[in-house]
Amino acid sequence: MNFRINDQHWLDNVKRVPSPFCDSRQDETDISLLVIHNISLPPGQFGGPYIEQLFTGQLDPNGHPYFQEIHQLRVSAHCLIRRDGEVIQFVPFNARAWHAGVSEFAGREKCNDYSVGIELEGTDTLPYTPAQYDALHQLSSTLLARYPQLSRARITGHEFIAPGRKTDPGLAFDWRYYKTGLSD
C-alpha cells in the first residue's frame, strides 16, 4: 500500500468519510506533531460502523449502553487504521481535527492546532495487528516526507500529551517496533 497526499491534503486511494468535527488551523503550514491514539466502539469490540458514526455525529445512543455516554461528543481524527490495515480519512491534514483535547507537547499547548491524529482500532491492552503496523509505518513515512516540520522526535502518543487524562495507545503499542519501521 503506497500512500500519496494530494494538493487538498487528502490521501489518494483510501476511503474518505468527511467529519464535520474539524476547523481551519491558524497556520496550515504548522503541521509539526503526529499523535497516535486508539479507539474501539463499543469498548473492546472491533469492526462495525460505530467509529465512523462517532466521528460524523451519527452515533445512535440506543445502539449500545456505552453510546449513551458518548454520542454527543464532537470528536474526530485525521485517520483511522482498522484491525485489517484499512485506512479511513476523516479530516484533510491541513485542517484541525478534534482529537487531542486538553494537551501539551514540549511546552506547547493545544496540540490539535499543529498535529495530525491517527487512531488505531484497538485498546490499551490488546496487541495491535501486523496489518495496522504496516499501514501506520507507511502512513507515518508519507506524512514525514510531506510535512517537513514532522520528525521522528515529534511523534507521540495521546497518553504523553494528556497524562492522567488519557492512556492510549497504551502498553500494547510497540513503540520500538513502530519507530524502527519508519522510512527516512
pLDDT digits (tens, 9 = 90+) for 124-161: 999 999 999 999 999 999 999 999 999 999 999 999 99
pLDDT digits (tens, 9 = 90+) for 24-82: 999 999 999 999 999 999 999 999 999 999 999 999 999 999 999 999 999 999 999 99
The angle at the Cα of 88, spanning 83 to 92, to the nearest 5 degrees, equals: 145
Residue tagged 492510549 (cell numbers): 168
The CA angle 172-65-45, to the nearest 5 degrees, is 30
Q: Please identify which residue in the block is written with the cell numbers 510535512.
A: 147
| Catalytic residue of the set 86, 104, 109, 119 | 119
119 is catalytic: yes
Residue 11 C-alpha cell reads as 490521501
pTM equals 0.97
